[in-house]
């Protein structure tokens, strides 16, 4: 059964044999049930249930089927494709389900889905079936063009309307193993030798003899792969004048000798169909049960792949050179605001989880002496007081010491100067108490940061005086403790404020320098123009470089600590949450990993927002956890960074590949900096998706297990689940627990045999991270 329209032919049949023929148009062969073997001029294809193969135009093929097979066959005419796709004849489509690149599985399923829908629509023939035919044909072609297109050979460019040329090509394809000369072919075609030579070269863009040798080479490659014949036998069986001419042409086209090619491409040996006396033997399938089978298949196919607007890119990695670049890892600080927070079980649990999965070195606090952790002094007549004003502090510090976590204390000028003498006296007592209980070796890892913002009204001499009093007090008690200064820095002016210039001349008394980096400060979110947002793309990296250059110019080299930073995120809770930015976080971290000593994060949203005392929500820093222990994108971005191990063998702006004792790791990112308000619109969002073809050269051959983690808005984004499952009547713990459990990167596992170059596709949505753990199998 077949459609008689000029655009396509579709049929559902049982195939015993199909004799060799040169394909007209583009043919898709989909095995619904059973098994068939397809032989082309260069390959054998074993198709089992649900396997799919595309036969290109002008490709010679034949089929042998096992008993009880059902095959869905669709042929799309050249005329139909030419009408919509002008580059059709310059390309071919490599689509064989058993050899499809990793990352193309969903596109392959879409082809299966549309083939089934097309045959069902053909059976139904309802009033809209003509429109459905056009839709499914275009869906199939669009998927092939976007996902399986390759540069075509001369055979794809043949003009099938030129009957004389087609007769010549058909003769060459069937008799390539016999001696053939231009003169003989001219006589058979009733042409002069000179005219045929000019005519052939004009039509095929290559000489007659060269084209004949190309046909012979394709068939010889098949013999090389699927038979045990010697190279000399193969050259003779395929019409080459001698073994030397075959080897020379083979090496010219494949870059290696036939012997090496055979060793690198081991496949199961096959017998060519030409050993069988074949005639077409096929029959249409009319069984109603087959429709039920098609329905079951249709229901199981994944229908979620949408990439019609995505941008296609290629990434080629050559890792043949030995990798010897170590991975830089800055320390991590989690900001808990006040010591009292460390008495809470959920805060401790979050810190411990973060320490285990992403690494934590410092816990940042402020309000050291003003907060609730230190109780007021109590008068008593006891010689040795039985109560201590530090008992709450000791609970927090004991926890930190057991976990080998150091304090990073921010001391604000405003806080200290309100009652300077009293503050310094309290600080002295606190440090001596800590020194007595925990020892100098533990306290020597602590950091004290003196803080005053850029727009201060405090005079430089006053800031300098107070800093020196603080510095000498702390150093007098614990000499090895770290005391540093916050450096306000103008990104545009590339300098610090007038009130802070003094520290450039007093650098010997500054152990480290802390700074902020928040590109939200230089953007007007009400502007829809992308230019300003594009300038912020590498803001953290560029600001860090500018600060280092500024300090170097003044002869200063000190450790840098990013105490608070952000990626571009918006200025409302809505845009701040809906703008998924995991790749931006990871990319920024990797950009500055070898430039800074530590990077700071707020432990969670509750603590972060509590610092503003109920005022406008602060967005100047990144948080690791949301409410109720939900993990924010920064958490998973850091988790992927921590998992990277070994030596770096390839690195670029949006990727990094490492080699380690277990195999390889690869992280891909689709970092996009745009106005977050755009990101609320799904249609606009798709324009920034990236369909990436990755090709890696130099991996060690062998069997591998590939673990792929996908982290994007659909797989792991916490805020998306909060929005989707929210209710005006509130969320109980059952819903919250589900949100937290489901907000995790997706894991897929593939078994891959890598012989030479390894290639695959990866479809990344906006600011998505794809992390590949490529583990060599132990056999």
Print burial letters for 605-619: b (CB count within 10 Å at least 16), e (below 16).
Answer: bbbbbeeeeeeeebb
pLDDT score recorded for residue 290: 77
User: CA 631 to CA 392: how far, in whole Å?
Assistant: 28
pLDDT score recorded for residue 547: 97
> What is the length of the chain?
779
Print burial letters for 396-432: b (CB count within 10 Å at least 16), e (below 16).
Answer: bbebbbeeebbbbbbbbbebbeeeeeebbebbeebbe
Task: Quickly name the fold that domain 311-323+644-779 has.
Answer: Immunoglobulin-like (2.60.40)
Q: Are 210 and 252 in contact (CB under 8 A)?
A: no
Q: Do domains 8-156+282-305 and 328-643 have the same CATH topology?
A: no
How buried is 552 (Cβ within 10 angstroms: 0-12 exposed, 13-18 middle, 19+ buried)?
Answer: exposed
| CATH class of domain segment(s) 162-270 | mainly alpha
Q: Are 133 and 126 in contact (CB under 8 A)?
A: no
Q: Could you tell me the residue ranges of all domains in the chain?
A: 8-156+282-305, 162-270, 311-323+644-779, 328-643
Question: What's the pTM value of the predicted model, to 2 decimals?
Answer: 0.73
Print burial letters for 300-313: b (CB count within 10 Å at least 16), e (below 16).
Answer: ebeeebebeebeee
pLDDT score recorded for residue 63: 92
User: CA 637 to CA 587: how far, in whole Å?
Assistant: 9
User: CA 307 to CA 554: how far, in whole Å?
Assistant: 51
Please, which residues bridge with residue 650 across strands?
657
Helices and strands (H, E) in the chain, number of each type: 26, 29
Level-2 CATH architecture, domain 8-156+282-305: Sandwich (2.60)
Q: Which residues of the chain have pLDDT under 70?
A: 1-6, 153-161, 267-279, 288, 302-310, 376-387, 524-535, 570-575, 612-618, 677-686
CATH number of the structural domain 328-643: 3.20.20.80
pLDDT score recorded for residue 286: 72
How does pLDDT run across 347-405, given as a tens digit for each residue? 999 999 999 999 999 999 999 988 777 776 655 555 665 567 888 899 999 999 999 99
User: CA 362 to CA 718: how far, in whole Å?
Assistant: 26
Helix, coil or strand: residue 181: coil
Helices 208-226 and 193-204, axial angle in degrees (round to 10): 60
Please, which residues bridge with residue 516 across strands?
564
DSSP letter (8 states) at residue 288: T
pLDDT score recorded for residue 618: 63
Least Cα distance to 604 among 347, 333, 331 occurs for: 347
| CA 94, 100, 103, 106 torsion-angle sign | positive
User: CA 686 to CA 674: how far, in whole Å?
Assistant: 13
Q: Are 26 and 56 in contact (CB under 8 A)?
A: yes
User: CA 42 to CA 205: how far, in whole Å?
Assistant: 22
């Amino acid at each position: 059964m077949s459609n008689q329209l000029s655009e396509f032919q579709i049929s559902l049949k049982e195939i015993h044999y199909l004799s060799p023929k040169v394909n007209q148009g583009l043919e898709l062969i989909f095995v619904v049930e059973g098994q068939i073997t397809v032989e082309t001029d260069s390959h054998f294809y074993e198709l089992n249930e649900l396997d799919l193969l595309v036969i290109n135009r002008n490709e010679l093929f034949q089929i042998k089927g096992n008993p009880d097979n059902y095959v869905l066959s669709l042929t799309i005419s050249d005329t139909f494709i030419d009408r919509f796709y002008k580059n059709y004849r310059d390309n071919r489509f490599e689509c064989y389900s058993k050899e499809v690149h990793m990352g193309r599985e969903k596109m392959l399923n879409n082809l299966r889905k549309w083939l089934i829908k097309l045959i069902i629509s053909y059976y139904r023939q309802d009033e809209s079936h003509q429109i459905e035919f056009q839709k499914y044909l275009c869906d199939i072609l669009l998927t092939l063009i976007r996902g399986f297109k390759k540069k075509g050979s001369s055979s794809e460019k043949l003009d099938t309307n030129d009957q004389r040329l087609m007769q010549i090509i058909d003769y060459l394809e069937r008799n390539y193993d016999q001696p053939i000369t231009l003169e003989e072919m001219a006589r058979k075609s009733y042409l002069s030798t000179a005219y045929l030579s000019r005519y052939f070269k004009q039509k095929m863009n290559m000489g007659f003899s060269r084209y004949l040798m190309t046909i012979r080479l394709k068939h010889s490659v098949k013999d090389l792969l699927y038979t045990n014949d010697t190279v000399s036998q193969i050259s003779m069986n395929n019409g080459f004048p001698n073994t030397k001419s075959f080897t020379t042409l083979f090496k010219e086209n494949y870059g290696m000798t036939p012997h090496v090619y055979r060793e690198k491409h081991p496949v199961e040996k096959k017998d060519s169909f030409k050993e069988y006396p074949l005639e077409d033997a096929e029959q249409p399938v009319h069984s109603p049960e087959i429709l039920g089978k098609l329905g079951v298949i249709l229901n199981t196919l994944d229908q979620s792949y949408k990439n019609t607007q995505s941008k296609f890119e290629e990434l080629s990695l050559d890792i043949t050179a030995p990798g010897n670049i170590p991975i830089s890892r800055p320390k991590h600080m989690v900001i808990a605001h006040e010591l009292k927070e460390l008495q809470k079980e959920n805060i401790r649990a979050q810190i411990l989880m973060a320490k285990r999965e992403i690494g934590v070195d410092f816990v940042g606090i402020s309000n050291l002496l003003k907060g609730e952790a230190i109780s007021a002094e109590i008068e008593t007549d006891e010689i040795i007081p039985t109560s201590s004003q530090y008992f709450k502090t000791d609970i927090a510090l004991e926890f930190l010491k057991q976990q080998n976590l150091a304090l990073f204390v921010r001391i604000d000028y405003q806080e200290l100067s309100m009652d300077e003498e009293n503050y310094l006296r309290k600080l002295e007592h606190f440090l001596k108490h800590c020194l007595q209980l925990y020892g100098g070796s533990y306290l020597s890892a602590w950091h004290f940061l003196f803080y005053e913002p850029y727009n201060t009204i405090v005079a430089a001499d006053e800031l300098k005086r107070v800093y020196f009093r603080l510095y000498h007090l702390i150093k007098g008690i614990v000499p090895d403790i770290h005391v540093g200064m916050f450096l306000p820095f103008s990104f545009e002016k590339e300098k610090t404020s007038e009130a802070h210039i003094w520290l450039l001349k007093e650098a010997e008394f500054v152990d480290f320098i802390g700074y902020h980096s928040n590109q939200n400060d230089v953007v007007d979110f009400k502007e829809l123009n992308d230019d300003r947002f594009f300038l912020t793309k590498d803001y953290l990296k560029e600001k860090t470089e500018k600060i280092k250059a500024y300090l170097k110019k003044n002869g200063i080299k000190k450790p840098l600590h990013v105490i608070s930073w952000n990626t571009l995120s918006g200025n409302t809770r809505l845009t701040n949450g809906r703008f998924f930015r995991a790749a931006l976080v990871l990319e920024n971290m990797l950009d500055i990993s070898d430039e800074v000593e530590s990077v700071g994060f707020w432990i969670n949203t509750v603590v972060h927002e509590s610092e503003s005392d109920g005022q406008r929500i602060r967005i100047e820093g990144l948080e690791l956890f949301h409410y109720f222990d939900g993990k924010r994108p920064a958490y998973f971005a850091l988790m992927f960074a921590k998992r990277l191990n070994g030596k770096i063998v390839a690195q670029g702006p949006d990727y990094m590949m490492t080699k380690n004792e277990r195999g390889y790791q690869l992280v891909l990112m689709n970092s996009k900096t745009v106005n977050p308000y755009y990101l609320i619109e799904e249609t606009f969002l798709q324009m920034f998706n990236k369909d990436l073809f990755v090709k890696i050269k130099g991996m060690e051959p062998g069997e591998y297990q590939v673990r792929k983690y996908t982290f994007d808005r659909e797989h792991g984004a916490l805020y998306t689940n909060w929005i989707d499952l929210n209710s005006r009547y509130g969320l109980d713990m059952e819903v919250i627990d589900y949100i937290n459990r489901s907000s995790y990167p997706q894991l897929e596992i593939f078994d891959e045999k890598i012989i030479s170059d390894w290639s695959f596709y990866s479809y990344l949505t906006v600011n998505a991270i794809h992390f590949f753990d490529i583990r060599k199998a132990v056999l």
